């Protein structure tokens, strides 16, 4: 590393780059074993809250120690990227998709930014090694973001930020560069249980614990087989993901619309009516969601979700 870049200077540069690339917040933690998270993760898996998401059982050690993902890692850089839309397309009488899926798949949008950030960091500081992560590897992103002071874990298990709520993506750079580390902030949920009370399938049995196997997002995205009949009539028209526990959170009154052109919904989606969803063809699906995260569920999966919501 270039000698003029001490940890303080490198940290300053990094946070400047994050702003230039459109990230709302950047926080840094020391890469080490997540001791507090180990028993929680073990218990969550033991209860079967991951449902059919068997991949959650894999790489237990890597989830808890970033140095096993990136040899020689010294720092975990946590970043927030806003996706709150200018217009909420979820209408009570229409089928609904989660706000994060309105535009282009966030994996690609944010991965591009992280690669650019790493490249520009290397340009300035000399040779460093690292990897970029966007919800696609065994990284406990909320735990790292909490450690870095970007927010606290809400009762719905999502990271909450005092100035922007929770409608943002989390991303990480894990690198072998020593930096100045941030610290956690306090929990501001207080006695509020709005998210727990609002969940129609009872997927939040206790504060900060989500039974993934009962979550509408799990049923409409992760579950590949038939949706259990016992939750029929409880989805409130959600056909891909669910925003209920975020929509009712008081902290989301501070959410501001994003400025990311790639997150804008495709032409036509805004005017989609319930009948359009019912009559959706594979051709229209491929055209409308060509670059969207909605492709994850596939045409057949989305049709299954639509049929399940029909009265």
pLDDT per position as a tens digit, 179-223: 999 999 999 999 999 999 999 999 999 999 999 999 999 999 999
Please report the pLDDT score of residue 4 as a whole number.
52
Catalytic residue among 65, 112, 135, 187: 135
Question: Taking the model in full, what pTM does it have?
Answer: 0.95
Helices (H), 105-264: 106-125, 141-147, 194-198, 216-217, 244-247
User: What is the total residue count of the chain?
Assistant: 311
Asked about 135 being catalytic, the answer comes back as yes
Please report the pLDDT score of residue 195 as a whole number.
98
Strand partners, 209: 206
Please report the pLDDT score of residue 1 as a whole number.
44
Q: What residue has token string 């991951």?
A: 50
Please report the pLDDT score of residue 91 as a whole number.
84
Low-confidence ranges of the chain (pLDDT < 50): 1-3
């Amino acid at each position: 590393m270039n000698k003029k870049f001490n940890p303080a200077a490198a940290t300053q540069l990094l946070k400047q780059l994050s702003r230039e690339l459109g990230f709302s917040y950047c926080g840094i933690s020391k890469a080490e074993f997540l001791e507090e998270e180990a028993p929680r993760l073990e218990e969550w898996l033991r209860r079967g809250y991951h449902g059919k998401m068997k991949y959650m059982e894999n790489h237990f050690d890597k989830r808890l120690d970033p140095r096993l993902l990136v040899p020689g890692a010294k720092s975990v850089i946590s970043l927030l990227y806003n996706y709150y839309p200018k217009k909420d397309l979820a209408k009570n009488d229409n089928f609904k998709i989660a706000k994060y899926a309105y535009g282009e798949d966030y994996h690609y949008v944010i991965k591009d930014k992280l690669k650019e950030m790493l490249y520009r960091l290397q340009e300035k500081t000399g040779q460093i090694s690292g990897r970029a992560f966007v919800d696609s590897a065994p990284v406990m992103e909320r735990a790292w973001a909490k450690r870095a002071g970007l927010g606290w874990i809400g009762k719905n298990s999502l990271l909450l930020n005092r100035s922007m709520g929770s409608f943002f993506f989390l991303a990480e750079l894990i690198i072998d560069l020593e930096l100045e580390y941030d610290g956690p902030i306090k929990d501001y949920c207080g006695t509020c249980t709005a998210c727990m009370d609002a969940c129609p399938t009872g997927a939040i049995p206790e504060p900060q614990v989500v039974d993934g196997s009962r979550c509408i997002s799990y049923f409409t995205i992760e579950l590949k087989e038939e949706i259990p009949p016992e939750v029929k009539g409880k989805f409130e028209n959600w056909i891909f993901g669910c925003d209920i526990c975020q929509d009712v959170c008081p902290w989301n009154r501070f959410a501001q619309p994003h400025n990311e052109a790639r997150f804008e919904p495709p032409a036509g989606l805004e005017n989609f009516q319930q009948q359009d969803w019912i009559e959706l063809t594979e051709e229209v699906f491929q055209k409308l969601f060509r670059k969207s995260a909605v492709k994850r569920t596939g045409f057949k999966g989305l049709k299954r979700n639509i049929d399940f919501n029909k009265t």
